[in-house]
């Protein structure tokens, strides 16, 4: 029997918050036929427009089936459902019988307003964290995480992180092989672990003329990636390259490469069954002690501590 998955939307929801997870479950059901049945619900039913104007034809709460999993979309219009007692009551009632209840992006406001996040770990879009913490001080917000599971309650960060959340659920339901094939079909990373930062080193460096070089470096972290090698690829002298790189990115080449390596190693640490020594080699650190020192500089903790925290979460 298909696992019934409901996506709750409202006027002004973010289209990708809903469409991303829906697509992941739909594709997973191609590889495991009958695994999921999908229903989009709203308070009143009928056509419900997203913030882009594109609309979903939805089923009203009072006509919706019982759900195995309920997801709540985020979006600019989230304040209305977060203060609508009919919506909050529906979410509470559904959560009592559902195996999982989840939010995508600012859908966390609805979960929190319904009381489902009180005392629990959760995340939301990085731009909402200060407001969210002010409104819901009883939630243990982990603002820098892609997704968080605390018992039957799941939450995810902004927009595309809803796909990561869905892939994690698919992996738990159908196994990692199906989740991996689903990610490949979606042409997304399989799969960003929950503990990965919402922020990408490539976005933070904002290298301008060096964007392509940094992207190449991230795909070639096992190489030495010395200043000389990077300068040669950028067709500059090492001295001129180092000077311009620092001026453009605000970082030395060595620090930038270390940040890329740490980010790659963190993803492997959370999602791959590799020894720390093997991760150090694969991400270009060469040895685990060098990687340990880099992790402490960036995260304030060694790799083993972060891996234990990820498993505990």
109, with CB counted inside 10 A (0-12, 13-18, 19+), is: buried
Active site amino acids: 105
Note the pLDDT of residue 159: 78
For residues 138-160, one letter each, b for 16 or more C-beta atoms within 10 angstroms of the residue's C-beta and e for the rest, the string is: ebebbbebbbbbbeebbbbbbbb
Domain segments of the chain as ranges: 3-186, 201-312
The span from the CA of 90 to the CA of 81, in Å, is 11
The CA-based diameter of the chain, rounded to the nearest angstrom, is: 69
Once rounded to an integer, what is the mean pLDDT over residues 80-109? 98
Q: Which whole number is the average pLDDT over 73-97?
A: 97
Query: What is the CATH architecture assignment of 3-186?
Result: 3-Layer(aba) Sandwich (3.40)
Mean pLDDT of 246-250: 87
> What are the pLDDT digits (tens) for 147-180?
889 999 999 987 788 999 999 999 999 998 899 8
Q: What is the pLDDT of residues 222-237, one digit of tens each?
A: 899 999 999 999 999 9
Which among 199, 95, 241 is positioned nearest to 155, based on CA atoms? 95
Strand partners, 150: 153
Q: Is the pTM of this model over 0.75?
A: no
pLDDT of residue 197: 53
Return the bridge partners of 69, or none. Answer: 5, 100
**3-186 and 201-312 share one CATH topology?**
no
Yes or no: domain 201-312 corresponds to CATH 1.10.10.60: yes
Q: For 5-57, what is each residue's pLDDT tens digit?
A: 999 999 999 999 999 999 999 999 999 999 999 999 999 999 999 999 999 99
CA distance 106 to 112: 10
Q: Which residue has the higher pLDDT, 282 or 11?
A: 11
Question: Residue 201 pLDDT > 70, yes or no?
Answer: no
């Amino acid at each position: 029997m298909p696992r019934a998955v409901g996506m709750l939307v409202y006027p002004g929801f973010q289209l990708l918050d809903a469409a991303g997870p829906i697509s992941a479950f739909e594709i997973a059901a191609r590889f495991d036929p009958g695994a999921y049945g999908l229903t989009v619900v709203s308070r009143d039913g009928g056509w419900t427009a997203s913030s882009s104007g594109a609309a979903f034809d939805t089923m009203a709460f009072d006509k919706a089936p019982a759900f195995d999993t309920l997801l709540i979309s985020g979006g600019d219009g989230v304040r209305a459902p977060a203060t609508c007692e009919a919506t909050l009551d529906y979410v509470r009632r559904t959560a009592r019988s559902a195996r999982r209840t989840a939010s995508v992006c600012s859908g966390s406001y609805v979960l929190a307003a319904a009381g489902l996040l009180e005392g629990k770990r959760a995340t939301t879009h990085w731009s909402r964290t200060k407001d969210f913490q002010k409104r819901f001080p009883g939630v243990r917000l982990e603002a820098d995480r892609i997704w968080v599971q605390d018992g039957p309650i799941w939450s995810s960060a902004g927009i595309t992180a809803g796909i990561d959340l869905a892939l994690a659920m698919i992996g738990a339901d159908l196994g990692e092989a199906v989740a991996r094939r689903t990610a490949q079909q979606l042409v997304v990373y399989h799969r960003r672990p929950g503990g990965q930062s919402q922020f990408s080193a490539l976005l933070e460096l904002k290298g301008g003329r060096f964007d392509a070089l940094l992207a190449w470096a991230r795909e070639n972290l096992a190489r030495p990636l010395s200043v000389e090698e990077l300068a040669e690829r950028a067709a500059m002298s090492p001295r001129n390259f180092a000077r311009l790189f620092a001026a453009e990115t605000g970082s030395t080449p060595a620090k930038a490469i270390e940040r890329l390596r740490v980010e790659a190693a963190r993803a492997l640490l959370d999602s791959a069954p590799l020894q720390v020594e093997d991760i150090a080699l694969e991400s270009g650190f060469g040895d685990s002690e060098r990687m340990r020192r880099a992790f402490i500089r960036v995260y304030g903790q060694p790799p083993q501590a972060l891996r234990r925290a990820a498993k505990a979460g």
